[in-house]
């Protein structure tokens, strides 16, 4: 018997099943057994049979409804996994909107938002009393107000729920970068108003710094850390805390934007141009886009902060969807544009920068930013200058040290007996300098000076104020106690040569973040770079550079001037999806679709890829059409997998016949 069989009606549960199959991305109706009538409520985990798969599958109850047709054949829910209501309606609404916008599945988004269940943690949480609302002290509120006073009406605009683009102040104070004080103050004032704040940052280093700044202002029981490096129980306990009515401050990486706090007062993103905020898993939604969807649904303020301005945020400012919030006093580093090498004695460093570094070393540490780690990341033939390639796999060769045998970066084989395929020379030449080679060269140029290497292989989190040469790759710069006495930016011309659409934006962000670590009045030397990017850094006008980038991409319909989706899969399926798209969205013109172009064949299947460039007004319709094609292709593939190939006696695997990735940051055809 099911519950509620009265007067020809009955209660049913609508369940979102946890499955990656796109054809099952919908709510399923299940009858509620009488013995589970009190336990089946919206948000709980349940187990239910799935007829198409012939097995029991987990899912979440989205809603409980009453239907009048009590005779309709429905399967019954088999088990309520837990009484914890881990999928509140606000999170389901957000996940559904994000999935629909990106032509993805609800279950894929929920896997990013809801951590794996930990039974002991959940039982302890269910048995505990609700947390009391945390309140910042009066002293903490005053300190936070003083920090926010550097930006006119910032606190009032956050309280009003505006969307804001803030250029964070550069500098280091009390061992912490200035931007951490800004975000911590904004979160603390939000908490004082009885609302929750959610702050997403790119990596664990930023997260550690932000948490340290928050510990000085907000109550410790109000801070919830959401970090992929946490253990399963820690992460699940933090998630359960965000479900409570008591406000909190959630800090974490890209998935923190999904934290289902009940009263959202502030949603902030730090450095949204960092690639770590791009989700590498389906449906590949950037944290910035999730934040925009969430703020439009849940309200609260949305804050984009950084030392640079991405063209994506600048587009929002240009159309009036977000508002610029400049500081009262403009603080910027003193940037000097240096010419390339002008004397043989100074190597890659111009003589003026060399002298400035020597003088700065008398006051404190000097930061030298380089493009790549290692000793010599690139080798070329000493005779013809052709790239040195591995004779086994064709991968590029690199040197691990002075006089070391070249090693392949792909297969890790030593290139003993190497010979150039172009001129048959047996000698190689160092074509680039990594962090270790730069440290070797500068160590000999500045004898007696301490040299510190900071890169992926040599992580260094902070340095003291004693004189030292700190050689760091971009993004790995250690935090100085009181700011660097000088910042020297090398390899800028090499960085700008990367074949990427946003390489100018990326370089400006790398250089600005490094320059922001300089002490007040300390020089910042950018070597060998001219043009708009260098001028934007020298004048500290990053938003203006973002505007020029946006204007240049508009005629090409490249992101963020337009939304771009990549469609790849079996050639005939891609063609069918594009034909359906043209029929479903007749507003698309002939130039909206690029391709398809052929890719490498897989087994007996021809693969192809296409790009779809669409205005934001038609993005929803395009996403719906492409999603329908993905579902249709998945169903057809499943049907084929059940049929045996003639004469082979085996079943053909379904394969990935069609895949869609929306809102590409870097389109690749």
**138-325 to CATH, choices 3.40.1390.10, 3.30.910.20, 3.40.109.10, 3.40.50.300:** 3.40.50.300
Quick check: 656 pLDDT over 70? Answer: no
Contacts of 361 (CB under 8 A, 6+ apart): 446, 449, 467, 468, 469, 485
Residues 269, 303 contacting (CB under 8 angstroms): yes
Tell me which fold the domain 334-377+432-539 belongs to. Rossmann fold (3.40.50)
Q: In this structure, are residues 301 and 266 in contact, taking their beta carbons and an 8 Å threshold?
A: yes
Compare 76 and 642 and report the one with higher pLDDT. Answer: 76
Quick one: average pLDDT of 432-453?
Answer: 90
Burial pattern 92-108, b for ≥16 Cβ within 10 A else e, equals bebbbbbbbbbbbbbbb
CA neighbours within 13 Å on the CB side: how many for 88? 15
Burial class (CB in 10 A: 0-12, 13-18, 19+), 647: exposed
DSSP state of 179: H
CB burial of residue 230 (10 Å; 0-12, 13-18, 19+): middle
Q: Which fold has domain 563-661?
A: Alpha-Beta Plaits (3.30.70)
| Residue 2: per-residue pLDDT | 59
Does the structure show a pLDDT above 50 at 325? yes
Where do you find CATH 3.40.50.300 in the chain? Answer: 138-325, 334-377+432-539
**Tokens for 40?**
């089946």
CA-wise closest residue to 13 among 60, 50, 82, 83? 60
Q: Give me the pLDDT at residue 318, please.
A: 96
Token readout for 651 is 């079943």
The backbone torsions φ and ψ at residue 340, rounded to the nearest 5 degrees and listed phi first, read: -65, 180
CATH 3.30.70.260 positions along the chain are 563-661
Cβ(93)–Cβ(49) below 8 Å? no
Predicted confidence (pLDDT) at residue 381 exceeds the cutoff of 60: yes
% the chain with pLDDT above 90:
71
Q: State pLDDT tens for residues 288-316.
A: 999 999 999 999 999 999 999 999 999 99
- Looking at residue 3, its pLDDT comes to 58
Query: Which alpha helices (DSSP H) does 243-310 contain, by range?
Result: 287-298
Sign of the CA dihedral with 337 first, then 340, 342, and 346 last? positive
Provide the mean pLDDT of the chain. Answer: 90
The mean pLDDT of 200-211, rounded to a whole number, is 96
pLDDT of residue 433: 79
Residue 226: beta bridge partners?
A: 252
Task: Give SS3 for 354.
Answer: helix
Number of neighbours of residue 459 by Cβ within 10 angstroms? 10
Kindly state the tokens that stand for 466: 């004693």
How much is the pTM?
0.91
79 CB burial (10 A radius; 0-12, 13-18, 19+): middle
Question: What average pLDDT does range 111-130 have in this prediction?
Answer: 95
Q: What is the pLDDT of residues 334-350, one digit of tens each?
A: 999 987 655 444 457 88
Give CA–CA dist 87/329, Å, rounded.
45
Element (H, E) at 80: strand 79-80
Q: What is the pLDDT of residues 131-175, one digit of tens each?
A: 889 999 999 999 999 999 999 899 999 999 999 999 999 999 888
Max mean pLDDT among 234-248, 398-412, 424-438 falls in 234-248
pLDDT at position 651 is 39
Pick the range with the lowest mean pLDDT from 221-230, 329-338, 523-532, 537-546. Answer: 329-338
Tell me the per-residue pLDDT of 566-608, one tens digit each, with 9 for 90 and over.
Answer: 999 999 999 999 999 999 999 998 899 998 999 876 655 788 9
Look at residue 84 in the predicted model and tell me its pLDDT. 96
Q: How far apart are CA 102 and CA 660, in angstroms?
A: 8
Residue 47's pLDDT band (cuts 50, 70, 90): very high
Does residue 213 surpass a pLDDT of 90?
A: yes
**Is residue 654 scored above 60 in pLDDT?**
no
pLDDT reported for residue 343: 45
User: Residue 95 belongs to what H/E stretch?
Assistant: helix 89-101
Q: Judge contact between 369 and 489, C-beta under 8 A.
A: yes
Tokens encoding 286: 């950037």
- How crowded is residue 85: how many other Cβ atoms within 10 Å of its Cβ? 15
For the chain, the 3-state helix, strand and coil shares in percent, each to the nearest 5, are 35, 25, 45
Is residue 525 within 8 Å of residue 336, measured between CB atoms? yes
The listed range with the strongest mean pLDDT (315-319, 323-327, 631-635, 654-658) is 315-319
pLDDT band at 391 (very low <50, low <70, confident <90, very high): confident
The pLDDT tens digits for 240-298 are 999 999 999 999 999 999 999 999 999 999 999 999 999 999 999 999 999 999 999 99
Q: Looking at residue 407, what is its pLDDT?
A: 87
Torsion sign across C-alpha atoms 203, 563, 571, 653: positive
Judged against a pLDDT cut of 70, whether residue 644 lies above it is answered with: no
Q: What is the pLDDT of residue 669?
A: 58
Contact yes or no for 381/423 (Cβ under 8 A)? yes
Query: CB of 364 within 8 A of CB of 467?
Result: yes
- Nearest Cα to 580, choosing from 517, 625, 514, 528? 625
* C-alpha count within 13 angstroms, C-beta hemisphere, residue 540: 19
Please state, in angstroms and rounded to a whole number, the distance separating the CA atoms of residues 370 and 373.
Answer: 8
Indicate whether 647 pLDDT > 70.
no
Percent of the chain with pLDDT over 70: 94
Residue in 44, 43, 39, 31 with CA at minimum distance from that of residue 3 = 31
């Amino acid at each position: 018997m099911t519950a509620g069989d009265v007067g020809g009606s009955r209660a049913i549960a609508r369940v979102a099943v946890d499955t990656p199959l796109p054809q099952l991305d919908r709510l399923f109706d299940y009858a509620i057994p009488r013995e589970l009538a009190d336990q089946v409520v919206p948000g709980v985990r349940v187990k239910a049979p799935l007829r198409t798969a012939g097995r029991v599958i987990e899912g979440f109850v989205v809603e409980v409804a009453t239907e009048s047709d009590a005779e309709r054949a429905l399967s019954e829910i088999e088990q309520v996994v837990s009484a914890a209501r881990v999928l509140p309606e606000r999170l389901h609404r957000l996940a559904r909107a994000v999935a629909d916008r990106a032509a993805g599945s609800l279950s894929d988004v929920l896997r990013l938002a809801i951590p794996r269940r930990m039974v002991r943690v959940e039982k302890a949480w269910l048995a505990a009393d609700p947390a009391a609302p945390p309140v910042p002290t009066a002293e903490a509120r005053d300190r936070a107000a003083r920090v926010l006073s550097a930006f006119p009406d910032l606190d009032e605009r956050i309280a009003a729920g505006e969307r804001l683009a803030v250029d964070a102040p550069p500098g280091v104070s009390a061992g912490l970068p200035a931007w951490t004080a800004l975000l911590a103050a904004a979160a603390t004032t939000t908490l004082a108003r009885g609302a929750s704040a959610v702050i997403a940052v790119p990596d664990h280093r930023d997260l550690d710094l932000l948490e340290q700044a928050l510990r000085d202002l907000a109550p410790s029981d109000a801070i919830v850390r959401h970090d992929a490096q946490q253990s399963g129980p820690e992460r699940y306990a933090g998630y359960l805390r965000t479900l409570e009515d008591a406000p909190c401050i959630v800090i974490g990486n890209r998935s923190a934007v999904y934290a289902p706090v009940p009263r959202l007062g502030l949603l902030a993103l730090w450095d949204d141009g960092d690639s770590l905020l791009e989700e590498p898993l389906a449906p590949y939604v950037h944290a910035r886009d999730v934040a925009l969807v969430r703020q439009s649904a849940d309200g609260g303020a949305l804050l984009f902060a950084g030392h640079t301005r991405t063209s994506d945020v600048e587009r929002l400012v240009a159309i009036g969807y977000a508002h610029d919030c400049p500081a009262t006093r403009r603080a910027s580093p003193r940037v000097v544009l240096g010419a390339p090498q002008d004397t043989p004695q100074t190597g890659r460093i111009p003589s003026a920068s060399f002298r400035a570094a020597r003088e700065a070393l008398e006051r404190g540490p000097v930061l030298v930013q380089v493009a790549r780690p290692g000793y010599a990341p690139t080798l070329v033939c000493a005779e013809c200058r052709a790239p040195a390639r591995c004779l086994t796999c064709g991968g590029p060769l690199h040197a691990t040290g002075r006089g070391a045998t070249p090693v392949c970066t792909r297969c890790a084989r030593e290139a003993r007996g190497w010979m150039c395929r172009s001129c048959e020379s047996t000698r190689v030449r160092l074509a680039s300098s990594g962090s270790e080679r730069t440290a070797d060269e500068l160590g000999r140029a500045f004898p007696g000076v301490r040299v510190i290497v900071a890169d992926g292989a040599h992580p260094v989190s902070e340095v003291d104020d004693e004189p030292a040469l700190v050689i760091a790759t971009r993004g790995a710069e250690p935090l100085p106690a009181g700011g660097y006495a000088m910042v020297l930016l090398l390899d800028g011309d090499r960085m700008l040569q990367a074949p990427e659409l946003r390489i100018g934006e990326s370089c400006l962000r790398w250089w600005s973040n490094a320059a922001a670590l300089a002490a007040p009045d300390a020089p910042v030397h950018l070597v060998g770079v001219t043009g708009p990017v260098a001028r934007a850094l020298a004048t500290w006008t990053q938003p203006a550079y973002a505007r020029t980038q946006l204007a240049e991409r508009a005629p090409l319909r490249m992101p963020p001037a337009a939304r771009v989706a990549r469609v790849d899969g079996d050639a005939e399926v891609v063609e069918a999806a594009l034909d359906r798209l043209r029929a479903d969205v007749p507003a698309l013109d002939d130039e909206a679709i690029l391709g398809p172009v052929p890719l490498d064949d897989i087994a007996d299947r021809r693969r192809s890829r296409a790009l779809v460039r669409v205005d934001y007004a038609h993005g929803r319709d395009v996403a719906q059409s492409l999603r329908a094609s993905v579902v249709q292709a998945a169903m057809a593939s499943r049907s084929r997998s059940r049929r045996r190939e003639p004469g082979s006696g085996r079943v053909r695997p379904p394969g990935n016949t069609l895949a869609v990735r929306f809102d590409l940051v870097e389109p690749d055809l």
